[in-house]
Amino acid sequence: MKKRIFNINLAKTNLKHRLKELYGIKHDLKIVVTEQQIMELMEMGYENKQIAMYLDLSVNTIASYRQELHAKLGSKNSIETLLFAKHLEII
C-alpha cells in the first residue's frame, strides 16, 4: 500500500481554485495595491471616510474601489469580501 504524503501548499492551491469555482471568482484575479490597502484597512474596521483620509483619496473613489472588489470576488458585501480575501490569502 502506497503511503500518501500531505502537501500543505498543494492543499492551499486546491482550496483557492475550489473557492474560485464555488463563488465565481476569476482565476486570473488581479488585485491592485490600492485595493489591497483598502481591504487591509477595512479589516481593521476603518470606514470609507477614514480610508479616504488615510490614502488621500475621495470617499467616492474608495466606494468605487470597494464595488470593484465586490465584483472581482463575487461577494455581496464587505464581510464576504474580507472572508474571500482571507481564504485566498490576498490579505
pLDDT of residue 8 exceeding 70, the answer is no
pLDDT of residue 57 exceeding 80, the answer is yes
- Cβ count near 90 (within 10 Å): 18
**What share of the chain has pLDDT > 90, as a percent?**
41
Range 28-87 has CATH code 3.40.1190.20: no
67-89 mean pLDDT: 86
What is the model's pTM? 0.69
pLDDT of residue 64 exceeding 90, the answer is yes
CA distance 91 to 88: 8
pLDDT of 35 reads: 94
Domain extents in the chain: 28-87
Maximum Cα–Cα distance for the chain, whole Å?
Answer: 62
